[in-house]
Chain A
Amino acid sequence: MKRDLESVVSQACRKFDNDGVRIIDILREVQNRLGCINGETMELLAEKLSSSRIEIEGLVSFYSFFSEDPKGKVIIRLCDDIIDRFAGIDQVAKVFSEELGIGIGETSSDRSFSLEYTPCIGMSDQAPAALINGVVVTKLTPGSAGTIARSLKRNPDPSRLVKKKGDGNNAGRLINAMVKNNIRKKGEVLLSDRIPAGAGLESALKKTPDQVIREVIDSGLRGCGGAGFPTGRKWDLARRTTAARRFVICNADEGEPGTFKDRVLLTERADLIFEGMTIAAYAIKSKSGILYLRAEYEYLRPFLENVLKKRRKAGLLGKRILGKRGFDFDIRIQSGAGAYICGEESALISSCEGLRGEPKTRPPFPVEKGLLGHPTIVNNVETFCCAARIIDRGAQWFAAIGTDESNGTKLLSVSGDCKRPGLYEVPFGIKAAKLLDMAGAEDPAIVQIGGAGGEMIGRNSFDRKICFEDLSTGGSVMIFSSHRNVLKIVDYFLEFFIHESCGYCTPCSVGNVFLRERIQKIMDGYAEEADIDYLKDLSKTIMMTSRCGLGNTSPKPVLSSIDQFPVVYASLTRESKQGLQAGFDIQKALAESRRIAKRTSMIYDPVYGSENE
């Protein structure tokens, strides 16, 4: 047994040249082969990599896909997004649980199955969905869940579950998934069928790096990952920092609840992404690039590796790209291990360095001191695609689309209560109402724009525009009809943030827990007016004092729902009686002691006398 362990650990370390920077890959390997990374394994790893047990424990306990306790050979991860919840994931969970004889978060005693919930896996347009080891299953029903569970009990190979394949490259041998692209609207920049292969890179190499950067600046392209930083300026800053090495990183961590646009680009526009990265490398003088792929998208990895291989063969990557002397560049794929925060660019860099995925202190910014201390640009998948198109078609062409401050088109991932969930490429500036109409939303009442930390709007705001000047978004648009409960949605987002906060700073790790406690108090019907002020004050402190974008935005669903749905909050707020706290429920407060004292109340306890058995 000990021998086995040692050989697995040494093999995993050797596969990555005993390089401590690659420890996330090493841990992934060990986790997959052993089903866990326990104390003994940590000590062995520490020895091999001249690290320490505590550092490895720090990583194992940080990333959701690692575990100290043994996991089943088949791990079923049910997507616990709000969209999936409303689509019935809990009924699906119940069936899995009954069929497999284990609860959520449990592993069967023979270690054949683990069942757990996981945050958004990027399939909101085909919810409810789940990941079974690497295999994606979509549009689950209690019926299909039963069939899947029974089939896995007979034969634990999840790839056999893919019967009906998805469209486009999803159906190919290397992806082989039932995932659908659900492309509903093609625009001229990204989803057009007439994008000439390689035109951007060819055109870039005819320009000087400065001219390439100029073109991107002039196009007005802003980062598509959510923050909207001007892309050309980012490249320019990295280029101007004197350094021997520079890095280009593509952020394919796509963890924002309700977003799946990058998934579709990775599936259908892989060459364009790598082309954009290559152009960026040429512009900033970089020799190495990384595509940071979230663990949930591991099913795309063989396909992406193959695209890279083909590009190397065609002289589009590697030494002397397209015959250009001195222009060498290559890309490797770095897999994540289950942490939303790793989408934050400096946390992503930490993760690429083999550290806990915690954001770094700024300044210095990544463009000055990024990966391993070298200037680094991190851009979103969509941003690199846009850049390649801009260099092909010119800054003016791009700048002519969209609004004054938001140029080009935007990929919107639309999910929730509508007839046509999926991907829409529309010019910036589109009104929310128009998008809702296109998506076939019949009774939209609540729309969450920009993911968990985005803005929640109600009917009175549907004529607002989607663009950086108004409703800013990295691409997530979640639609909820009038029978959905606003507070349930807010509560879900807070639960998500609590789960995904890295814990580095106090206000984010603690404050979000307090926000959620108060939202639940309101849901339970014990709120008073002062609770609304409490929420606003606490939100302000969290947003102002948190260290990164997660805590700077996590209270936004609270604040925007208070602003947009005052009537909902008002209807749940009671007057406090004679200075007593309305929020204090004496029966609830005494429940525990009554249980211990075995004295139940016939009036207040639904299970009167049951504990006396």
Chain B
Amino acid sequence: MNKTVIFKIDGVEVRGKTGQTIMDAADEAHIYIPRLCDVEGLEPQGSCRVCIVKVNGRPAAACTQPAADGIEVENGTLEILNCRRDIIRMLFHEGNHLCPICEASGRCELQAMGYRLGILQPAKYPYLQPVRPIDASHPDILLDTNRCIRCGRCIRASKYIDGKNVFGYVGRGIHKRVGVNGKDFAHTDVHPDDKAIALETCPVGCIIRKGLGFFTPVGQREYDRAPIGSDIENPELRREK
């Protein structure tokens, strides 16, 4: 069943297996394709579009597109890079991402992606400055969807790992956001040990543990040490982690 497939990413030959996505195969080959909504251990959903690549000239999301024999994948071209920069900028401008005061700074994947993709001036687009209410009802956890990028990692982790339904999408279009299964967060069956609210699940500073702020000194935070994606490009780092 699992046949080997051989294809190219930016001209470099990559071996994968049938049933793998382009992203899976690239990861194994230590080629980093930037991503935000996709994370190890959860089904990919292809929604943030940061992992956009071209497959035989046609755009596709690497996290959901199957690897196939003989395909030519473009990942590092300027065209793709510009698209990714635009998407990251869209996310920054659509929400309220104030890195200097954000608890997730330094381990935030959105911030790290901005650095990795070389976005120096976030001034291209207008700021939408949403005013979404903060849910501080729960004794241990705070939700600030103004910093949410709607990656749905918490939703999937709750559903498929915790076997619950603590989070879900509500609204549509630009008003789509993550909601909770109850009238507020305190009225859900969330548990502090849930994978859905684990530090590594939320890529930004939307799910915040109360009483656990700024616990890593500046300089030692995850992306102070190495840019995002380094663990995939460099297996040594991965082992350390």
Contact = CB atoms under 8 A, between A and B. Distances in A.
Interface in A71-89: none
A517 B66 contact: no
Interface in B28-66: 45-50, 52, 59, 61, 64, 66
B91 A506 contact: yes
B150 A503 contact: yes
B86 A538 contact: yes
Given A61-B170, A503-B171, A514 B90 contact: yes
Given A53-B181, A502-B173, A544-B83, A361 B94 contact: no
A357 to B, nearest CB: 8
B223 interface: no
Nearest to B152: A504
A501 B183 CA distance: 26
B125 interface: yes
A511 interface: yes
A545 interface: yes
Contacts of A509: 173-174, 176
A292 interface: no
B241 interface: no
**9 A-B pairs closest in CB distance:** A503-B176, A54-B168, A54-B181, A52-B165, A510-B90, A501-B173, A541-B86, A61-B170, A545-B49
Given A52-B181, A58-B179, A506 B48 contact: yes
B174 A503 contact: yes
A512 to B, nearest CB: 8
Contact of B87 (A39, A502, A507): A507
B174 A510 contact: yes
Interface in B137-184: 149-150, 165-176, 179-183
B180 A503 contact: no
A517 B90 CA distance: 13
Contacts of A506: 47-50, 87, 90-91, 94, 149-150
A54 B174 contact: no
A540 B122 CA distance: 19
A54 to B, nearest CB: 4
Contacts of B199: none
A503 B90 CA distance: 13
A361 B175 CA distance: 21
Interface in A506-536: 506-507, 509-511, 513-514, 517, 534
A353 interface: no
A533 to B, nearest CB: 12
Interface of B: 45-50, 52, 59, 61, 64, 66, 82-83, 86-87, 90-91, 93-94, 124-126, 128, 149-150, 165-176, 179-183
Which of A55, A356, A361 is packed against the most chain B CB atoms within 10 Å?
A361
Contacts of A541: 82-83, 86-87
B191 to A, nearest CB: 16
B59 A513 contact: no
A545 B173 contact: no
A534 B124 CA distance: 9
10 contacts: A52-B165, A53-B181, A506-B48, A507-B49, A507-B86, A511-B90, A514-B126, A517-B126, A545-B49, A547-B47
Which of A356, A498, A504, A507 is packed against the most chain B CB atoms within 10 Å?
A504
A544 B77 CA distance: 14
Contacts of A534: 124
B49 A505 contact: yes
B172 A501 contact: yes
A312 interface: no
Contact of B64 (A52, A356, A361): A361
Contact of A61 (B94, B126, B172): B172
Contacts of A504: 47, 176
Given A514-B126, A534-B124, A537-B86, 10 more contacts: A54-B170, A361-B61, A502-B172, A505-B46, A506-B91, A506-B150, A507-B49, A507-B87, A514-B90, A544-B52
Given A361-B64, A514-B125, A547 B46 contact: yes
Contacts of A61: 170-172, 179
A511 B171 CA distance: 17
A499 B83 CA distance: 23
A507 B179 contact: no
A339 B171 CA distance: 12
A90 interface: no
A143 interface: no
Which of A39, A54, A547 is packed against the most chain B CB atoms within 10 Å?
A54
Given A361-B64, A506-B87, A547-B61, A54 B173 contact: no
A363 interface: yes
A219 interface: no
A546 interface: yes
Nearest to A341: B172
A455 interface: no
Contacts of B171: 61-62, 503
Contact of B176 (A361, A502, A546): A502
Contact of B179 (A57, A361, A514): A57
B168 A498 contact: no
A253 interface: no
A58 B87 contact: no
B59 A361 contact: no
Which of B150, B167, B174 is packed against the most chain A CB atoms within 10 Å?
B174
B47 A57 contact: no
Contacts of B49: 505-507, 545-547
Contacts of A499: 173
A61 B173 CA distance: 11
A382 interface: no
Contacts of A39: 183
Which of B47, B50, B172 is packed against the most chain A CB atoms within 10 Å?
B172
A356 B52 CA distance: 24
Interface string A353-368: 0001000010100000
Contacts of A215: none
A601 to B, nearest CB: 24
A326 B117 CA distance: 60
A498 B90 contact: no
Given A505-B47, A506-B87, A541-B83, A57 B170 contact: yes
A510 B91 contact: yes
A528 to B, nearest CB: 15
A344 interface: no
B175 A503 contact: yes
Nearest to A60: B170
Contacts of A513: 94, 128, 174
Nearest to A40: B183
Contacts of A500: 173
Contacts of B149: 506
A57 B83 contact: no
